[in-house]
């Protein structure tokens, strides 16, 4: 759960386009129903989310994740105290240096363990070099990676694999659907989510606008979202400084 949205952006997406058909209609279209139920499944649980994605995302569908500055790899958060590279994002800084299975042991002088997971310097200024030590094939080696801007997109199999690594116990959250707007094969859903940050045990809420694109068969072809990630950080006690 990134800095993307301000209130004016929500207003622009959900109000200014007068040609969109909204919730003033009594019945939802089939695409609107799929979009809303997609979000409800995400709020319900891990298995429900995976099952809904498997059934409703087109085989060639794409998930457009939040952009960020970093290395460009995923890891299994359930390996407590360890950071072992799982999937490497193509064309990212990580793609030039890291391999799946590499284990980070030190990042910019900070040893990787459970208590330091939120203190590792993967995120920060673009182009800035980060020195690290990894373990590959039982041997340690020093590497240096310059952070870059990452487009964190996933295909269907990659998304399901990433979902499988999630912790089912931390999954459910409170969801409110505020408005659904659609035109042709595009559906926008404005929702509010309430959850608890498990690292600091503090509650937060955020508005999210999710954009769904459907193919002619009624399957989800693409999903992207805008969310109040800076606002979430502030609610859970974090701040961003230069």
Q: Could you list the pLDDT tens digit for every one of the 242 residues in the chain?
A: 333 333 333 333 333 343 434 444 458 999 999 999 999 999 999 999 999 999 999 999 999 988 899 999 988 887 888 999 999 999 999 999 999 999 999 999 999 998 898 889 888 889 999 999 999 999 999 999 999 999 889 999 999 999 998 889 989 999 999 999 999 999 999 999 999 988 789 999 999 999 999 999 999 999 999 999 888 988 998 877 66
**Strand locations in the chain (E):** 57-64, 68-70, 73-75, 83-88, 103-107, 110-111, 129-136, 139-146, 148-150, 153-155, 174-183, 186-197, 202-214, 220-227
Q: Dihedral of CA 42/43/45/46: which sign?
A: positive
Q: Which two tokens stand for residue 43?
A: 């709020």
Tell whether domain 7-65+152-235 is in CATH 3.10.450.50. Answer: yes
User: 68-150 — its CATH code?
Assistant: 2.30.42.10
> Would you kindly state where each structural domain of the chain is located, as residue ranges?
7-65+152-235, 68-150
């Amino acid at each position: 759960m990134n800095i993307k949205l301000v209130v004016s952006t929500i207003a622009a997406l959900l109000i200014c386009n007068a040609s969109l058909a909204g919730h003033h209609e009594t019945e939802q279209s089939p695409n609107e129903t799929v979009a809303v139920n997609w979000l409800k499944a995400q709020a319900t649980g891990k298995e429900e989310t995976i099952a809904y994605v498997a059934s409703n995302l087109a085989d060639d569908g794409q998930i457009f994740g939040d952009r960020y500055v970093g290395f460009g790899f995923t890891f299994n958060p359930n390996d407590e105290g360890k950071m072992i590279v799982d999937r490497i994002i193509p064309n990212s800084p990580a793609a030039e240096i890291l391999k799946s299975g590499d284990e980070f042991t030190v990042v910019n002088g900070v040893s990787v363990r459970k208590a330091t997971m939120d203190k590792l310097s993967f995120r920060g200024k673009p182009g800035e070099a980060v020195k690290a030590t990894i373990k590959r094939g039982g041997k340690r080696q020093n590497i240096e990676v310059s952070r870059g801007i990452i487009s964190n997109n996933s295909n269907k199999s990659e998304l399901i694999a990433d979902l499988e690594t999630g912790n089912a116990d931390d999954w459910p959250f409170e969801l409110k659907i505020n408005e659904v707007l659609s035109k042709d094969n595009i559906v926008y859903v404005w929702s509010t989510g309430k959850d608890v940050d498990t690292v600091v045990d503090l509650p937060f809420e955020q508005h999210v606008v999710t954009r769904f694109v459907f193919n002619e068969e009624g399957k989800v072809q693409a999903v992207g979202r805008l969310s109040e990630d800076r606002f979430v950080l502030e609610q859970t006690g974090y701040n961003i400084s230069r």
